[in-house]
Amino acid sequence: MNRISILLLMVSPMCCAQPSPQFETEQLIGKKEISLAGEGYQLLPQAAAAFEQMKAAAKKKGLEIKVVSSFRSYQRQRAIWNRKYKANAKAGLSPQKNIQKIIEYSTIPGTSRHHWGTEIDIIDGAIPPKGDVLISRKFHNSGPYEPLRKWLEAHAQDYGFFCAYPDDSERPGFSYEPWHYSYAPLSKPLYNAYLELDLREALSDLDLDGSKHLDQAFLMSYRESHIKGINPVLK
């Protein structure tokens, strides 16, 4: 079997029938120190090796894949959340509207796929960045990252990577993110293990701005819409 066939076998639906490996809760919610690899980014070693292969293939087509975000710890995600919450509150948003605005793109700390070391946010590093780079329109309509998006849609799966939040009007949860790719051979078992968590118990010590509004009912709804609202191939 060639490398592509092996990767496709690893992410085929058949693997979902196997029991999910057991992972520690602390690992799943980003509070455990894990072994990571990469230069200028942090991924699990197997994911980093696959990324380097994908990066080399893209370079042959004149594209320089640059990672702008990879592994994020719980503490890092918490800092992002609190910064956004404070800014939204200062702008006059109610706690409920504040939280809804944040979760258009950002996750509640402890629920981010970036905690696993399998996720990357990427742009074309050959193009000098201007302003915010992770904006969907920059990946479409002759935007600076449109060639990268098209190449990724055609070839990323050959290396085990899939867009986590594709452009699908039927998909609930986070908005479309053409820059966010997940290494399926590792993220799928992590995702399935995550679904086995008692979310309220796992996040009992959130210590976040606005955390009193993240009650059991909200978290259960968020689990169905945002945690499960991913590319079906990653389930």
CATH number, domain containing residue 207? 3.30.1380.10
Structure tokens at 10: 């690893």
24 in a structural domain? no
- Walk along the chain (235 residues) in steps of 10 and give the mean pLDDT of each run: 42 40 89 96 98 98 98 95 97 96 95 98 96 97 97 98 97 97 98 93 85 91 97 98
Report phi then psi at 123, rounded to 5.
Answer: -135, 180
Give how many domains the chain has, as a whole number.
Answer: 1
What is the reported pLDDT for 111?
Answer: 96
What was the pLDDT predicted at 53?
Answer: 98
Residue 129 lies inside a defined structural domain of this protein: yes
Assess if residue 31 is contained within a domain. no
Domain-embedded: residue 25: no
Residue 196 lies in a domain: yes
CA neighbor of 185 nearest in space, from 3, 8, 2, 1: 8
Q: Report the pLDDT value the prediction gives residue 73, as an integer from 0 to 100.
A: 96
Q: What is the pTM of this model?
A: 0.88
Structural domain boundaries enclosing 208: 3-8+42-234
What does the pLDDT read at residue 206? 74
